[in-house]
Amino acid sequence: MFSGAQISLYPMADDFVGIIMQSLSALDTHREHLRIETDDISTLIVGPPERLFPAMRDLFVAASSTGTHCVLSAAVSRGCPGEPDDPICRPGEGRMPGEALDARIAEATAVVKAAPKTGRHVACQFSLYPLGADRHMDEIYGCIAFLKASGVFDRPKNFCTRLGGDAGPVFAALAEALTRFGPVDGHVALDVTVSANSPTRV
């Protein structure tokens, strides 16, 4: 199954190029497991979800540790029928077909609660798009039930769900949303925004 993301990092600073360049070293320990290609809009990261989300987390924690208001935006996808398969994408452990929604909610919640902390607080919102499924709202509502139990749920918003907390469990929750909901081998996408150091108080 092909999986990966188009990600962009937006430091709101005159020295945005410097902050991005410095942050890239956070990807060094992940590079051997991922395919990474950059243009002027975004960086493509191809690899299995269990490699992809820790890489995004480490990149964002590095950028936001400068204290600058930073945003990471990502279009994440798995199982798109229009993409070629890629050996680098083979996930370490698959989900069982036919597993009930309640069991998946419990498993995803346990993973997020056990996720290592980074010490960096982030705000996040994202949308889950399970494609090619005629009962896609059931999977979306199941995912929302998981998020409410996960410890990083903040509040519902129109078109998306807002999370908040340590970057460790927040990125773990995004990984669980992508892999644990929607058809096992189907096409699922996330539209993700993660923000840190905003001067706007909510």
Q: Does residue 93 touch a copy of itself according to CB under 8 A?
A: no
Q: Does residue 67 touch a copy of itself according to CB under 8 A?
A: no
**Do residues 159 and 127 make contact, with C-beta atoms less than 8 angstroms apart?**
yes
Amino acid at 141: Y
Identified binder of a copy of itself from the candidate list 28, 32, 85, 134, rule CB under 8 A: 134
- DSSP assignment string, 37-101: EE-SS-EEEES-HHHHHHHHHHHHHHHHTTSS-EEEEEEEEE--TTS---GGG--SSPPPTT--H
Q: Does residue 202 touch a copy of itself according to CB under 8 A?
A: yes
Whole-Å CA distances, 32 to 5, 36, 45, 46: 16, 10, 12, 11
Q: Given the rule CB under 8 A, which of 22-30, 49-57, 104-112, 121-129 is the region that contacts a copy of itself?
A: 121-129
**Do residues 20 and 77 make contact, with C-beta atoms less than 8 angstroms apart?**
no
Q: Given the rule CB under 8 A, which of 25-33, 57-65, 97-105, 185-193 is the region that contacts a copy of itself?
A: 185-193
Nearer to a copy of itself, 18 or 116 (CB): 18
Site residues for a copy of itself per CB under 8 A? 4-6, 8, 10-14, 16-17, 39-42, 44, 46, 69, 71, 73, 75, 77, 80-83, 123-125, 127, 129-134, 136-137, 140-141, 157-160, 162, 187, 189, 191, 193, 195, 198-202
